[in-house]
Every structure is written in structure tokens, then in C-alpha cells.
Chains A and B, each alone.
Chain A
Amino acid sequence: MSCCAVGAASMTVAEGGQALPASEELWLASRELGGGLRQTELSVPGVHCGACIATIEGALRDRPEIERARVNLSSRRVSIVWREEVAGSRSDPSEFMRAIAERGYQAHLFSPGVDAGDDLLKQLILAVAVSGFAATNIMLLSVSVWSGADAATRDLFHWISALIAGPALIYAGRFFYQSAWNALRNGRTNMDVPIALAVTLSYGMSLYETIGHGDHAWFDASVTLLFFLLIGRTLDHMMRDRARSAVSGLARLSPRGATILHPDGSREYRSIEEIKAGECLMIAAGERIPVDGRVLSGTSDLDRSVVSGESAPVTVAAGDAVQAGTLNLTGPLTLKATAAARDSFLAEIMGLMEAAEGGRARYRRIADRAARYYSPAVHLLALLTFVGWILVEGDIRHAMLVAVAVLIITCPCALGLAVPVVQVVAAGRLFQGGVMVKDGSAMERLAEIDTVLLDKTGTLTVGRPRLVNAHEITPGALATAAALAVHSRHPLASAIQDAAGAVSPLACDIREIPGAGIEAKTVNGVYRLGSRDFAVAEPGPESGQSEAILSLDHRELACFRFEDRLRPAAYESIKALGRLGLSTVILSGDREPVVAALARKLKIANWHAELSPRGKVEACAAVAEEGRRALMVGDGINDAPALRAAHVSMAPATAADVGRQAADFVFMHSPLSAVPFAIETARRAGRLIRQNFVLAIGYNIVAVPIAILGYATPLVAAVAMSTSSLVVVVNALRLKATVPTATGGAEILPLSLTASRTTA
């Protein structure tokens, strides 16, 4: 089981030079429990089996300051309760992160205040429990009635049933009553209207029958109905909840705070909301810039890929403006904040996002669309039955009984389960393949798409460069360059290290010149690694590719060329999308030659370069105007408005916070094959949902005439309802069996899993 740590380490979440959060940041985020204890929640996306639990808990338990630590495998979180002081010294919570990281797991600070959804889930589970209890007990009594209890015994049983059913309906049925009432008040109708009506009418009618010593009571039907429907509702909610906790637990790209430099020279670590415009901030190399600002002093390279989609880092010096969300790579900077966090670049994006509320706001869930036709038909049928029986027999009581039987038989029990069960099974399948689904409607929308819009940096590529001309470089030069490169966080430096493998240290005086390169004074002379300007002191020909030069005393030793690395399985995935009958388009914020080269390589004919966030939204809108439905896949802050504007959207786990929040799907493993896999699964789920509808309607065609003719006794109703529900659930479970398909969707899953293991 030692495989786990390896697999965990290769989970490509939050790569790209993200340092462990500072001790102050962890203090700020921890919750005080009283009695000198504090609690910290960490997200560890890499845990996935029992060995992982034992490893992490063991590692944490060994530390003296930790009171208790518990891993939650479902939400991939670790909750640590620790003492503020041990033996007189202040505890350092960043040690916990280090202890976890040493075992090969990535740990991220979990943002508090995202657990709002949990309460409703708990309420729903309670309601399921209560209605389940009521349903079983009433069913017991009903079985006795059906097997021949009569006269006083039957009345007694009916009364007891009524006493159990009443409170259960009020307590567990309130979700449906509220939803039905909201729909009716707005002049609409949804699935909950026939449910609420059938449940209430059948209870009222049964109570009336019980008072009049009647033969038939429908208490069991109304409570069982509620029980089944609540299961569907709870499953639907659970799916959303699981995705939410997994997604929100990922690495945060925006920092929680920054060090403020006061005019008197004192320093203070403050949370990001409290930073005001005009204050001076100190940003160390490797930190993200929290708010928009202007550089006061220092030189550095900024990685703007998340903000603008540009793949090459940009050099900044005193006087340059910097945007919130960019990553400071090489040198320390002192900034003057020009805007508070809520007015920063990010806020601008938020504004665009609100304006870009696209297909999802107009989208109506399949079940609701079905209900629009279904519930008027059902109510009309019950009414006609009622009127018909009055005309035939003239007995209002009997007519009412038959009408209630029709309502119960036609109640969308199977329909209520038809959609959520399929979607939960599909979500489980996607979860295993490393794809999170935010909610059921996203899956329905994904099944409808015909166009895929792809961002370039961070989506088609991993946003990290790769050395392309390693074969032209002598091993000696590569080793020297790697020895220099270990001293820098610059992405090109990391690429040289990756290419060189093991690095032997160079005994010399090494310093990094931000915005230029690395310099090492050795006995042989001065080695320099960096831009052409810096290394050989003369500007060379401008090439489209990014490059780095290694020189000895201004004499060129080697020229390293880089290109952005494709995301694993990108080419195969684009082909798979083609096989699924989808057209692909690249929407990038990067420069035109870079995008054109990539499009040629992936054989994508349709591409757009140098798009602003607004441009991406407009591209989405243009696709929608042509009557097509688009899936947007993107990761950056600049993609977030487009992710919101598209019919449905998807983001990798490495995406910026806003991007991940805006997307409907998030994929955790690095290969791009997650995209065709998700589309394939969503389409199969869509097919199963339609099959389930056909099954449910077929059941109604058989059962409704029986009810209209007045032959439906409570026993018949109970059997029919349970059978139809079971059939629908069993049909949904077929999705679990992996059936190889023409598009190869089933084979994509193992591929994505093995690939994430081997990239370690």
C-alpha cells in the first residue's frame, strides 16, 4: 500500500512554486477552542485509502503539541487540534504542514466558512430517517389490515397509522410543501406540486375514511411515497455537497494575508481584507500578490499566467503596476497598494462574471421540464376521474376515493428517483476518474453540448515550460546550468533542473539577479544563466520561443530553448472530442504565434489569440447566438467570466480560485482525457435518465387505467409503487458497469489514473 504516497505526491494540485503557508497565516486561519487549544483544518487531496489515513495520523500524533488529529477520507481533510503552548514555547502550526509534506502528501489550508450546505443535508437525512421509521411501522400495520383484520381491530390500526403518519408528513414533507408553495406563488409548477397534493389529499381522505370506519386507508402509500422521494432528494444534495467540499478544499491561489511595512519600519502580518490602499507591502519571492499595486522597490519576474494567460514571465521594476493574483517568482518586492482587495483586478472579474450569467440561469432541470407537462396531465386525469364517477354512481365519497387512488398511483415516485439516482451513480463514476461535479443540472447540460472551447495556458498546456533542445546541449553544460538553476524559482530554471535530473552542487558564490538571471563566480570564471542580454551582454535575434543562455565570462556555452508543455493526453483527448462529434476552438489570452503553433500541433483549425476576459465572454456569446451549446474549459482568472457565460464549464484543479468556483466540473488529475471522459459519462447518464422516464411512463400507462376503473386498493398501490421505483434504481446502477463504447470513453478512466501515477 506504499503506492499511495507516490500517487498522492503526483497529484498535480497546486504546483508551480507555491510555498507552504507561513506560520502567521495558519494562526490566523485556526479556530480557538478555549483552554489553550486551537483547531486547524487542512485539505489533503492526496489521501485515498486506509494506509494514507494511518500515515498522516501517525505523523501528526508523534508531535507533542498536537492534541488529536483525524483524517476525513470522504472530504479529504485533516482536522488538527493543537495546544497553543508546549513547555512554555509557542507552537508553530507550519510544522504540521511540514510533517504531512514529509510523508509525500500535499497539504493546503482549508478556507473556513464554506460549510454552509452541511446543515440542509443533515436536515434531509433526519427527514429520511423519520419518514423511514414511519413508513415501516405503518406498513406493518397495513399488512395486518390487508391480511384480514376487520372491524374494531382495523379501525385501531388505521388510527395508529394516522397518528404516526401525521407528524411524519409535517416533519419530513416540509421540503416538498415549501418548494411546491414557492413554485405556485410564482405562477409556476414543478415536480413537488403533484407530490404535495397527492400526499396531503391521500392523508386527508384516509383520515376521513378512518373516522367513518371505512375499509381502505392510504396512510402507508403517502408515507412510503415521501420516504422514496426524500431518498432521491437527499442523494441529489449529497452529490453537490461532496463536490463542494472537495473543490473548496483545494489549494487557494489568493493569499490569506501579507506583511505590511509601516512608515516607522515595523512589520505586521495582516489578513487580506484589512489591507488598505496606500499601504506598503513586502512580497517575498514565491508569494502571490494580494492586491493591485505599484512597485516601490525591487526587481522581479512575475508569473501572470493565471491572470492573463500569458505563458512567459514578465519582468517588473520600480514604478510598474502589478495585478492581484500574479505570482512573484524571483526577487523580493516592496509594493504600494493602489486598491483594497475588494477593488482589485479580481473584483473587476467578479463584476464581469455577474454580468455573464449565461445558459445556467435559463436552464430548467429535466425533471422540472417533465413536470411542466406531467403535473397538469395528472391533475386533469384525477379531476376527470372524480367527475366521471360522480356521473356514473353519484357517490361523492367513492368518487373521491378513486380520484385519490389515481393521484397516488400517478405520483412521480419513479420520476423523483429517475434523475437523482442516475446522476449520483454518474457522479460517483466521475469522482473515481478524478472529476468533481458541482450539481446535477451541470451533468444534464454537459450531455447537450456540441462545441468545446479550450483555454491554452494551464488547460491545453500545463503552464510550465519544458526544455526542447536537450539533445543539442553537452551534458557538462546542462549540469552546470542545472547547478545554477537550483537557486531560482523561475519556471525556466525549474525546466532545466527537470531535464538535468540529479544536480551536483557548485562550490561558489551564487546570486540571482531578478529580471535577468543567475550569476556564479567560480575559479573558472563567471558563469551566467539567463536572458541573452544578461549572459553575453548583447541583444540577439528575437525568436518566438523562450530561451535561456549559459555563458562563461560573457562567452556563450549553450542556448536552451523552451516551450510550454502540453497537458498529458492532450492530443488523444482532442481526437476523442472529435470522435464524440464535437467541434473544438481555442480561446487564449496569449500571443498569436504561440497560439498558432499550438493549434497546428493539435490540429485545431479554429483558434483566437490575445483575447481579454471580455473577449472570451463575447466568444462564448457568439457561439450561443449561433444556436450551439458550448463547454468552456479554462483555468485562469481571465477565464472565469467565460466559464460562467458558457452553457457548461470545466476547470482543472490547478485553476485559480475564481475559475474553480465558476466552473461546473473540476478535474483533479492532470491528463486532459478527463474532458472527453466527463462528456461521455454525462451523455450515458442522459440516455439512462431518458430510459428511466420511459420506464416510469410505461408503468403509468399500465397502472392508471386500473386506478381509474377503481380497482386500485392500497395493496395494489404499494406493490406498484415499490416495483416501479426498484426498476428505475436498478436501471440507473447499470451505469456502474463499464461498457466499452465506440468512443473509448470507458478506457479513458484507467488511462487518467495510471498517467497521474507515472508523472511523479
Chain B
Amino acid sequence: MNTLIYLIPIALILGGLGLAAFLWALKSGQYEDLDGASWRVLDDEDCRP
């Protein structure tokens, strides 16, 4: 029972971090062009993102 006191918050915080990361990615437009992103990763010319 004692371990739960910090394990549960840790689990929730980690999950929340994942959610926050997804929301950030969505806001910064990383889901705007999924087809393009799958090609860009193969592009050799490393230029601006």
C-alpha cells in the first residue's frame, strides 16, 4: 500500500507526459502532412525541417 502512494502518481504523470507530448506535436503541425513526412525521412539533403 505504501508503494502505491508514489507509484500511482508516477504512472499518471508518465501517462500525462505522453498526452502532453502528443498535444504538442499536434499543435506544432506534425500531423499536417503524414504522407509527406514518410518521404522526407528518406531525403538525403538535410535541410531545414
- Residues of A in contact with B (beta carbons under 8 Å apart): 49-50, 53-54, 58, 61, 68, 71-75, 122, 125-126, 129-130, 133, 136-137, 140, 152-153, 156, 160, 164
Known: A136-B15, A153-B1. A129 touches B36 (CB 8 A): no
Docked complex Cα distance between A54 and B36 (Å): 11
Q: Is the CB of B22 within 8 A of A129?
A: yes
Known: A49-B39, A50-B40, A53-B39. A126 touches B23 (CB 8 A): yes
A-B pairs, top 10 by smallest CB distance, nearest first, are A50-B39, A73-B36, A73-B35, A133-B19, A72-B33, A74-B35, A74-B33, A137-B15, A129-B22, A50-B42
Docked complex Cα distance between A136 and B18 (Å): 11
Docked complex Cα distance between A122 and B30 (Å): 12
B25-49 at interface with A (beta carbon < 8 Å): 26, 31-36, 39-40, 42-43, 45, 47-48
Indicate which residue in A50, A126, A137, A140 contacts B43 across the interface (CB closer than 8 Å).
Answer: A50
Docked complex Cα distance between A640 and B33 (Å): 32
Q: Is the CB of B43 within 8 A of A129?
A: no
Tell me how many residues of B have a C-beta within 8 Å of chain A.
Answer: 25
A-B contact pairs, 19 of them (CB 8 A): A49-B39, A50-B42, A53-B40, A53-B43, A54-B43, A54-B45, A58-B45, A71-B36, A72-B32, A73-B35, A73-B39, A75-B33, A122-B26, A126-B26, A129-B19, A129-B26, A153-B4, A156-B4, A160-B8
Q: Is the CB of A140 within 8 A of B11?
A: yes
Chain B residues within an 8 Å CB radius of A122: 26
Chain A residues within an 8 Å CB radius of B35: 73-74
Q: Is the CB of B43 within 8 A of A125?
A: no
Docked complex Cα distance between A133 and B18 (Å): 8
Docked complex Cα distance between A73 and B35 (Å): 6
Docked complex Cα distance between A49 and B36 (Å): 8
Chain B residues within an 8 Å CB radius of A71: 36
Closest B residue to A140 by CB, please name it. Answer: B11
B39 CB to closest chain A CB (Å) equals 3
B38 CB to closest chain A CB (Å) equals 8
Q: Is the CB of A74 within 8 A of B18?
A: no
Chain B residues within an 8 Å CB radius of A72: 32-33, 36
Chain A residues within an 8 Å CB radius of B42: 50
B47 CB to closest chain A CB (Å) equals 8
Chain B residues within an 8 Å CB radius of A153: 1, 4
Chain A residues within an 8 Å CB radius of B19: 129-130, 133
Docked complex Cα distance between A129 and B22 (Å): 8
B1-22 at interface with A (beta carbon < 8 Å): 1, 4, 8, 11-12, 15-16, 18-19, 22
Docked complex Cα distance between A137 and B14 (Å): 10
Docked complex Cα distance between A49 and B18 (Å): 31
Q: Is the CB of A125 within 8 A of B26?
A: yes
Chain B residues within an 8 Å CB radius of A49: 39
Indicate which residue in B15, B43, B47 contacts A133 across the interface (CB closer than 8 Å).
Answer: B15
Chain A residues within an 8 Å CB radius of B48: 68
Docked complex Cα distance between A71 and B11 (Å): 39
Q: Is the CB of A133 within 8 A of B33?
A: no
Indicate which residue in B11, B23, B32, B47 contacts A137 across the interface (CB closer than 8 Å).
Answer: B11
Chain B residues within an 8 Å CB radius of A129: 19, 22-23, 26
B43 CB to closest chain A CB (Å) equals 6
Closest B residue to A122 by CB, please name it. Answer: B26
Q: Is the CB of B36 within 8 A of A125?
A: no
Chain B residues within an 8 Å CB radius of A54: 43, 45
Docked complex Cα distance between A607 and B45 (Å): 57
Docked complex Cα distance between A73 and B8 (Å): 42
A321 CB to closest chain B CB (Å) equals 46
Docked complex Cα distance between A140 and B1 (Å): 16
Known: A130-B19, A133-B16, A156-B4. A74 touches B36 (CB 8 A): yes
Docked complex Cα distance between A152 and B31 (Å): 43
Chain B residues within an 8 Å CB radius of A58: 45
Docked complex Cα distance between A130 and B15 (Å): 11
Docked complex Cα distance between A74 and B11 (Å): 36
Chain A residues within an 8 Å CB radius of B12: 137, 160, 164
Chain A residues within an 8 Å CB radius of B36: 53, 71-74
A137 CB to closest chain B CB (Å) equals 5
Q: Is the CB of A125 within 8 A of B31?
A: yes
Docked complex Cα distance between A316 and B18 (Å): 67
Closest B residue to A132 by CB, please name it. Answer: B19
Docked complex Cα distance between A504 and B19 (Å): 66
Docked complex Cα distance between A49 and B12 (Å): 40
Interface centre among B8, B15, B36, B43 (most CB of A within 10 A): B36
Docked complex Cα distance between A125 and B45 (Å): 32
Chain A residues within an 8 Å CB radius of B11: 137, 140
Chain A residues within an 8 Å CB radius of B26: 122, 125-126, 129
A74 CB to closest chain B CB (Å) equals 5
Docked complex Cα distance between A284 and B16 (Å): 61
Chain A residues within an 8 Å CB radius of B33: 72-75
B19 CB to closest chain A CB (Å) equals 4
Additional A-B contact list (4), CB under 8 Å, known A53-B43, A160-B12 = A74-B34, A122-B26, A125-B26, A133-B15
